[in-house]
Chains A and B, each alone.
Chain A
């Protein structure tokens, strides 16, 4: 009798947990249409050959501005961008820490715009960076560093508690991609083939204090330390995005920091002409981010510097790698064509519009 009771109880718990797990899978946002950026972080785990020369970390200024395909095509460099929307510096740090558990790149590239944020900003962005990470100590530390005041860590461990209210807005995608999603990015690069020229850019507002926050500096120090301990070269960059405004006062601090720690710091805003960027046609949102044409130019320019500075080997003759990258190139070209077709047909990239189907 008692034994039977225990068996019933245990099977009840199992059934309950299984259905809750399924519901969690169902309710988590899929990020396959419209806002696809939420899929960036998790896509890394599907990569079969986690062995890259370069790892990028940072916000949209990395994942929309550099094309790893170009780096491969032009220089035989393998690279991966672990970027996510408004990635804060502690998130970048822990993401790098996590990535280093899988591989040890030669160079780590960090975009310094995130220095402007000294504290957590928005739950939605936290989610896009953190939900995609596999469970690890890095993830837990990142969650702890990123939580807004009214957030609870339990909501990160059990995302069902966060997303349960989506029950009334489930879409086909939620069922279709319940267990498996197709790749959307190119080694972490988010491709945009549309064009929207720059018209005007507002000047920066005056700030009471231009010094980056202590917290931000602290994580930058830790990042330097981490790379040093693993023998990885850390490169600081400021992508050539025209907005948000990059103050001279900020730039000076980064120049100084790089000098003090013997790092390479490149502010691409100072090299727009050399890169060959034309803000009439190389941006898709009037100067915030580059489109695929701009990203290819920037990758080409940056690759040249990297090869020269860090003596990176050209791996285009490696048969195994070549095979992998050939299929990546194919996917890359397919997507470019697809986007161009959509632009031709609808005037915009329909599959990436905020409300698909409208």
Chain B
């Protein structure tokens, strides 16, 4: 049941209606039932996975929580009675028991994710090596279906268990509440990856119908549908034509395809998140934002702080920091500084952590070398610009352009182009093909390709281009206004007639200009597959 299907819209209307009609204490149980119905549409057979994750994380959470409580109590009671060494010793043993439980839970759940998502990728790599070694033996691929949203709910649950382990908050004692946190339907398919302490603040509360929340939520949903249906699904046709026919579309077309894809990905992904957050808002539930106008970033590092924010912070909090401050890593850092000198020694641990994080980020996006290369390229660019910091500082001290509009625009465009180029890995069939296509932009770039009518052969008509252009103008304008605060808050203060006009225009343009139904490939949100 995709967000843009009729059945989802009907499903949603029913949920909205019931949610405010039933007694308030039944609101969150309703959402749990709704989430499981939503999940059931993808296939009953997937229930096993999500239920297993829910139960195992719930139980281990309780266990670790209790251990943590006992530990704190013991330490408090015995403070001053036992010696510092004894206390430290107790802490260490107690922590290691908690750690074992955590490790068990993570191995189990990341194990499920790994097996369902990466088995065939591993097999194909083994086969490649076997073939290289001259072995005639090849392993067969397994028919494993990827459970819907597994990357997202696994990350959500594991974030929870690590937080409980760290004593950030107490574990949830009600298994049904926890099950709702794991399966909450608006964010199961494509995030955002919410944190338990953040989401639970509003998720289990009783909510009165609030007209402003409803208004804001609805507009946000419509805005999401607009981005998704009018823009993303429309331009998708053009993107596909280019990237599926690499022999025909080279040079200038790769460049166009790259920009198209940047546009599509943005509209598709942020549109989907708009729908998710909008739905939650109508239900009175607050979800953390996942984007902060990412295409206005001045460099890649900043871009990654503003794009898919919840994923970035997840990797930072639960992977980057832990490996960076892991004791052996710190010891290695000391050793490296002694051996290679201060400047290299200082960098090595950070670099190693970064590479690990980006490798993981890449493979999280998809089980293929394309995504791994994509992740590592991101890492490479970030590290290089880190290294160039002194140069930038020198540059800015020499030329006073830092805050000049023109220079900032240059940085923004540079970031967009760079990110789009890196994303080519995401487009083409394999890594060598990506390099070839990237190269063709420089060896085979015919400006005339863009003006001889070929653009009308990509499956987009002149009228489509007009719609896309108007969409671009609208999106950019909205983003620019957003800089000064919430667009919807401003709109809410305006007379009702203006608000209703916005509703009207959004609804009518989604219905008329939406790229849905016969004649359009109904596509899924790009991030569903992750």
Contacts and interface: CB of A to CB of B under 8 A. Distances in A.
Interface of A: 5, 8, 12, 15-16, 19-20, 23, 27, 123, 152, 154-155, 160-162, 164-165, 167-168
A23 B513 CA distance: 12
A162 B508 CA distance: 14
B463 A168 contact: yes
B514 interface: yes
What are the 8 A-B residue pairs with the smallest beta carbon separation, nearest first? Answer: A168-B463, A12-B500, A154-B6, A164-B512, A167-B512, A8-B496, A165-B519, A152-B6
A168 B461 contact: yes
B511 A164 contact: yes
Contact of A165 (B497, B500, B520): B520
B6 A162 contact: no
A20 B508 CA distance: 7
B223 to A, nearest CB: 17
A12 B503 contact: yes
Interface residues of B, number: 21
B514 A164 contact: yes
Contacts of B520: 165
B517 A164 contact: yes
A171 to B, nearest CB: 14
Contacts of B514: 164
30 contacts: A5-B496, A8-B497, A8-B500, A12-B500, A12-B503, A15-B504, A16-B503, A16-B508, A19-B504, A19-B508, A20-B508, A20-B511, A23-B512, A27-B512, A123-B518, A154-B6, A155-B517, A155-B518, A161-B511, A161-B517, A164-B512, A164-B513, A164-B517, A165-B515, A165-B517, A165-B519, A165-B520, A167-B463, A167-B513, A168-B464
A167 B515 CA distance: 12
Contacts of A154: 6
B503 to A, nearest CB: 7
B5 to A, nearest CB: 9
B259 interface: no
Nearest to A153: B6
Interface in B459-508: 461, 463-464, 496-497, 500, 503-504, 507-508
Interface in B249-300: none
Contacts of A19: 504, 508
Nearest to B504: A16
B156 to A, nearest CB: 32
A152 B516 CA distance: 12
A16 B507 contact: yes
Contacts of B516: 161
Contact of A162 (B504, B507, B512, B518): B518
B295 to A, nearest CB: 28
B400 to A, nearest CB: 50
A167 B508 CA distance: 12
Given A19-B508, A20-B511, A162 B500 contact: no
A154 B519 CA distance: 17
A151 to B, nearest CB: 9
Given A20-B508, A167-B512, A162 B517 contact: yes
A67 to B, nearest CB: 35
B504 A160 contact: no
A128 to B, nearest CB: 14
B287 to A, nearest CB: 27
A1 to B, nearest CB: 11
Nearest to A161: B517
A164 B515 CA distance: 9
A8 B500 CA distance: 9
Nearest to B5: A152
| Interface-centre pick from B464, B500, B507 (highest chain A CB count, 10 A) | B500
B511 A160 contact: yes
Contacts of A15: 504
Contacts of B496: 5, 8
Contacts of B518: 123, 155, 162, 165
A154 B513 CA distance: 18
A39 B512 CA distance: 24
Contacts of B508: 16, 19-20, 23
B241 to A, nearest CB: 18
A23 B512 CA distance: 9
Contacts of A152: 6
A148 B500 CA distance: 38
A165 B520 CA distance: 9
A16 B509 CA distance: 12
Nearest to A19: B508
A12 B463 CA distance: 29
Contacts of A164: 511-514, 517
Contacts of A20: 508, 511
